[in-house]
């Protein structure tokens, strides 16, 4: 009985129904984020040795912990 009184005393805010997002508005952002994720995945997983875009070990050392975290072969 106490619960019914307590819940009746708390006003519930009126929430207007939101319109669904159109696919045409989301698709370019989804492609952009997907491309960024692929670039990040390349640098974490394959930026080393013969597939390296940048000379030296700077990029590899910078993403080294992420490489081990994601289980890519390293050393």
Over the window 4 to 23, marking each residue x when it contacts Zn ion by CB under 5 A and - when it does not, the resulting string is --------------------
DSSP assignment of 43-69 equals: HHHT-SGGG-SSSSSHHHHHTHHHHHH
Distance CA(62)–CA(49), nearest Å, equals 15
Q: Output 30 or 74, the one with its CB closest to Zn ion.
A: 74
Distance CA(70)–CA(10), nearest Å, equals 47
Over the window 46 to 75, marking each residue x when it contacts Zn ion by CB under 5 A and - when it does not, the resulting string is ----------------------------xx
Q: Output 24 or 75, the one with its CB closest to Zn ion.
A: 75
Size of the site for Zn ion (CB under 5 A): 2
Distance CA(36)–CA(39), nearest Å, equals 5
Contacts with Zn ion, residue ranges (CB under 5 A): 74-75
């Amino acid at each position: 009985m106490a619960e019914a009184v307590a819940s009746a005393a708390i006003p519930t805010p009126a929430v207007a129904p939101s319109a669904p997002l159109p696919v045409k508005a989301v698709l370019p952002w989804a492609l952009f984020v997907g491309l960024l994720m692929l670039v990040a995945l390349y640098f974490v997983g394959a930026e080393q040795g013969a597939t390296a875009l940048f000379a030296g070990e700077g990029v590899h050392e910078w993403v080294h912990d992420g490489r081990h975290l994601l289980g890519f072969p390293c050393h």
